[in-house]
Amino acid sequence: MDNISRVGIFLEVVKHKSFTKAAKALGMTSPGVSKQIQSLEDRLGVRLLNRTTRQVTLTEEGAIYSERARNAIEGLQEAEQQIQDLKLHPRGLLKINVPMSFGTKYLTQAIAAFAVKYPEVQMEADFDDRQVDIIGEGYDVVVRIAALSDSSLIARKLADCPILLCASADYVAKHGYPKSPDDLAAHPAIIYSKHGASAEWKYQDSHGKIGTAALTKNFSADTADMLLQACLHGVGIAVFPIFTAATYVQTGQLVRLLPDYETYPKRNIYAVFPQNKHLSTKVRLFVDWLTQTCKALPW
């Protein structure tokens, strides 16, 4: 039996001033209670209780220990109650980070609705495309679009996120449609300039073979919106996440190139959070909220 349990038994004996009554209240035998009190006294090296055939009384050391132990147990009980309250009424700071383009287009309303539903949660939402240090910067939840491999983090998949090779319909009409990855080098390419993105397209064909096609960089930018407008205006070919291209592919303004080839490695949208044994209620609720939100994504 652990020491905290022995302390609880000791306080029960003090409360009833009797081993027998304490045993009955605890569902134990009187000798069992006596044994645990003796173990506690042996560990402390002092006698806590004076025992007679008529009554049980506190020694001087026992009185000191009883007062401190009672305060400690009450503090633990209060902490447990606060934790239970948090499960029902989450509160405190929730710091999140989401990609600028995807977050602005698809998550702002959901985040605002979450804040309304849980008004005691203080939201701190950052929108940007940089690679954040989740633990070092104190984020509770980060939305990432990636092929994840960091085992120190927990990730819940929210949705698929295919990466599409595209060009505008006007561009294809003027410059032709590439028939294989080898043809891409002959076309001007629009390149995302953040995160050290290189002028190449890594792909996997229908047989599972992985290859890399060189791209001829003609235009670069660090925002998806600028890349999209450049592509729509016929500047060249571009690689877009589906949330950027989907609407324009559906309307025919953008044409998906080489649909028999998939961008490699495949990306997904994840909610990522630090690895903790017990996930806080506010984080769990927010991740569940994101999961439900992403079920309605148009692709």
Across the range 138-149, mean pLDDT stands at 89
- Give the pLDDT score at 172: 96
Q: Report how far Cα 163 is from the mean position of its chain's Cα atoms.
A: 23
CA distance 82 to 152: 29
- Bond before 90 cis per omega within 30 degrees: no
Grade residue 151 by pLDDT with cuts at 50, 70 and 90. Answer: low
Q: Which residue has the tokens 């998939």?
A: 262
Domains of the chain: 3-88 (1.10.10.10), 92-160+267-294 (3.40.190.10), 163-263 (3.40.190.290)
CA distances from 292 to 132, 159, 274 (A): 24, 10, 21
Task: List Cβ neighbours of 289 (8 Å cut-off, separation of 6 or more).
Answer: 110, 114
What is d(CA 237, CA 218) in angstroms, rounded to the nearest whole number? 10
Helix (H, G, I), strand (E, B) or coil at 179: coil
Least-confidence region, from 49-58, 114-123, 214-223, 284-293:
49-58
Reported as a single tens digit per residue, the pLDDT across 160-182 is 999 999 999 999 999 999 999 99
* Helix, strand, coil share (%) of the chain residues, nearest 5: 45, 25, 30
Q: What is the pLDDT of residues 54-68, one digit of tens each?
A: 788 999 999 999 999
Please state whether 27 falls in left (phi above 0), alpha (psi between -120 and 50) or beta: left
Q: Which of 166, 178, 169, 181 is nearest to 228 (CA)?
A: 166
- Which candidate, 221, 231, 158, places its Cα nearest to that of 192? 221
Longest dimension (CA), the chain: 106
Task: Report yes or no on whether pTM surpasses 0.75.
Answer: no
Tokens found for residue 108: 């702002």
Per-residue pLDDT, averaged over 45-54, amounts to 87
* pLDDT tens digits for range 101-142: 999 999 999 999 999 999 999 999 999 888 888 988 999 999
